[in-house]
Chain A
Amino acid sequence: MANVLVVADIKQGVLKGSTAELLSKAKALGAETAVVAIGSGLESLIADLVSAGSDTQYIADDSKLELFSAGPYASCIVDAANQFGADLVWFGFSESGKAAAPRVAAQLDAACATEITDVMLDGDQIEIVRPAIANKVMQRVKINTGQLVAVVRAGAFEAAEAITGTENVVRLSAPAPDLKAVIRELLSDASGEIDLADADVVISVGRGAKDQAGVDLVKELAGDLKAGFGSSRAMVDGGFMAHNKQVGQTGKIVAPTLYMAIGISGAIQHLAGMSGSQVILAVNKDPEAPIFNVADYGIVGDLFEVVPILREEIKKLRN
């Protein structure tokens, strides 16, 4: 039986849904599950870690670990992986995961794979599936080491409804800080905004919005739907949207229930970041825009006309 260690995805003191998704997949594979949580002030999260489906909880809770630093973060995971005898170490899709996974793999002398969408276990043999070349192909990859560190693509696994775990807390000592890469400051993203990574609905704005007034118009629609508000690269480069709002291969990869692409033509890098969404609506003036090739529903029209009608119709529907 395989041992799966899931790295808890904690943002601003909240355990994110991907942790339960990964633990559910591990249990579905018949694996023993453990979770490793790294940060500061984690005590209140232990119950959540158990109910997310973990049977052992490795906790590295120290004020020194409050801000993410890839070196110490990786050290904690290596420590937990060794104690647990992990065959698989999984990260949910996150920047911290992408930064730490190759380090952990190098230190464990394990294989490493990013953005995996499936895992197959057959005895000791591990195989994974992942996209490559901007999502244009998929790869089936054979793991030769018997141990794999992997970052799981957003939305790849689903959380089981009746998942639960058992409490078995193991405390990890905090590793020494990385004195050669010292985090001096964290310029936080605006708080209170809905996180793109776990929003049910994501609405992204593109070049079609032209300027701030256009962006604000689409933002109102996002507000109505309590949706995550994302962006194409063009609007980030244009200075209308923050870097952390960029949906695409370079920014956030999202897989919401409903994705609305408003005024986005659909460059490959953008498509690679959102085509895992369950349902896609596209609004674009150009009937030939590539976004329509992936959209379930397409409205050919000017977003300045269409968005106000969308808002009104959705309001009607909700009343």
Chain B
Amino acid sequence: MKILTTIKKVVDVELTIRVENGAIVEDGLQYVMNAWDENAVEAAVQLKENNQAETTLVSIGGGEDNTKIIRRGFAMGIENGIQIDDPALAGADSFVYANVLQKVYEKGSYDLVITGKQAQDTDNGQTGIILAERLGLPCVSNVVAIEVIDDQHLKVSRLGDAGTEIVELTLPAVITVTDSINEPRLPQMRGLMMAKKKKIEVMDLAALGTSYDDVGGTTPKSQIAEFMKSETRTAGQKFEGDPAEITTRVVALLANEAKVL
């Protein structure tokens, strides 16, 4: 089984994000691998270890931070790495990403694509599903477990609205995974050292046999007009002291002031 895993460089969501004049202030931001993509990498590596799968990752974007997350994927156990580095793709939307990934998929031969269920920067959750549509492949999103039946079939579990859905999937296919599927391993020192020596196959859109126009970059379906500050809640009244006294007080406030009890 040949697996393609997609990984994305995202802003570290644990840090403070500032917005000025309709844009995010880049200064002081740090970048990491999208957390859900770490789950995707871990899922791929587990399939390598348990089912002799061959693993490849792909990341769209350039720069040192992007190289860093690819090396992290190597250190976790991924064997091959592809980087689509083309300045034209900065700020591309989910459809453009999916179109680029379609080209990557078609250039190789894969049985399974694993993506995180969404990226932490956009929180869109669309790319993997659109990619499956583009490729005409079956797709299961929000996957929490993968079981290999044979070379051509997987049994996957997804969290749906009515419960856990058990789906029999015929390969090739696309799945998007959520964080409860696994606990991504921390790369070990030896793995990180080895990862530095591994070659990354770097391509721009031309090398991929396409162009910015072809992947829909010049005709985006949507574009961000501006970023705004989030309507953040402000801290209300906080009570400390005798539990009986403050709890009684808060219940009275919930009933009389907030009128929600």
| Chain A residues engaging chain B, CB cutoff 8 angstroms | 11-12, 67-68, 70-71, 94-96, 98-99, 101-103, 105-107, 110-115, 127, 129, 131-145, 148, 178-189, 201, 233, 236-237, 243-244, 246, 249-250, 257-258, 268, 275, 278-281, 287, 292-302, 305-306, 309-310, 313-314, 317
The interface centre, meaning the residue of A96, A103, A148, A278 with most chain B CB atoms within 10 A of its CB, is A103
CA distance A299 to B239 in the complex (A): 5
B225 and A127 contacting across the interface, CB-CB below 8 Å: yes
Taking the closest CB of chain A, its distance from the CB of B200, in whole angstroms, is: 27
Contacts of A71 on B, CB cut-off 8 Å? 138
Supply 12 further A-B pairs (C-beta < 8 A) apart from A106-B130, A250-B180. Answer: A105-B130, A112-B126, A132-B123, A137-B228, A140-B228, A144-B220, A182-B168, A249-B123, A268-B14, A306-B247, A313-B248, A313-B251
Q: Select one of A68, A134, A138, A309 contacting B161, CB under 8 A.
A: A68
CB within 8 Å of A: which B207-242 residues: 219-240
CA distance A134 to B123 in the complex (A): 7
A181 and B140 contacting across the interface, CB-CB below 8 Å: yes
| Chain B residues engaging chain A, CB cutoff 8 angstroms | 11, 13-14, 17, 19, 24, 94-95, 98, 120-126, 129-130, 132-134, 137-142, 144, 155, 158-170, 173, 178-180, 219-240, 243-244, 246-248, 250-251, 253-255, 258, 260-261
Taking the closest CB of chain B, its distance from the CB of A313, in whole angstroms, is: 4
B248 and A309 contacting across the interface, CB-CB below 8 Å: yes
CA distance A40 to B33 in the complex (A): 42
B243 and A113 contacting across the interface, CB-CB below 8 Å: no
A250 and B260 contacting across the interface, CB-CB below 8 Å: no
- The majority secondary structure among interface residues of chain A is mixed
The interface centre, meaning the residue of B14, B137, B238, B253 with most chain A CB atoms within 10 A of its CB, is B238
Closest to A126 in B: B222
Taking the closest CB of chain B, its distance from the CB of A316, in whole angstroms, is: 8
Contacts of A313 on B, CB cut-off 8 Å? 247-248, 251
CA distance A303 to B151 in the complex (A): 51
B180 and A243 contacting across the interface, CB-CB below 8 Å: yes
Contacts of A294 on B, CB cut-off 8 Å? 232-233, 235
**10 interchain residue pairs of minimum CB distance:** A298-B238, A180-B138, A296-B236, A111-B221, A106-B133, A102-B129, A181-B138, A313-B251, A185-B166, A102-B126
CA distance A97 to B61 in the complex (A): 29
For the A-B complex, the count of residue pairs with Cβ-Cβ distances under 8 Å equals 259
Contacts of A101 on B, CB cut-off 8 Å? 126
Q: Select one of B141, B180, B219 contacting A99, CB under 8 A.
A: B141
A180/B221 contact (C-beta < 8 A), A70-B141, A295-B236, A297-B236 known: no
Q: Select one of A107, A141, A179, A244 contacting B225, CB under 8 A.
A: A141
B260 and A98 contacting across the interface, CB-CB below 8 Å: no
B169 and A102 contacting across the interface, CB-CB below 8 Å: no
Taking the closest CB of chain A, its distance from the CB of B61, in whole angstroms, is: 17
A317/B123 contact (C-beta < 8 A), A137-B17, A275-B233 known: no
Closest to B168 in A: A182
CA distance A65 to B144 in the complex (A): 23
B250 and A299 contacting across the interface, CB-CB below 8 Å: yes
B221 and A110 contacting across the interface, CB-CB below 8 Å: yes
Contacts of B243 on A, CB cut-off 8 Å? 299, 301-302, 305-306, 309
B13 and A136 contacting across the interface, CB-CB below 8 Å: yes
CA distance A153 to B104 in the complex (A): 33
Q: Select one of B162, B173, B226 contacting A12, CB under 8 A.
A: B162
A298 and B236 contacting across the interface, CB-CB below 8 Å: yes
A98/B254 contact (C-beta < 8 A), A184-B168, A243-B180, A280-B233 known: no
Taking the closest CB of chain A, its distance from the CB of B7, in whole angstroms, is: 18
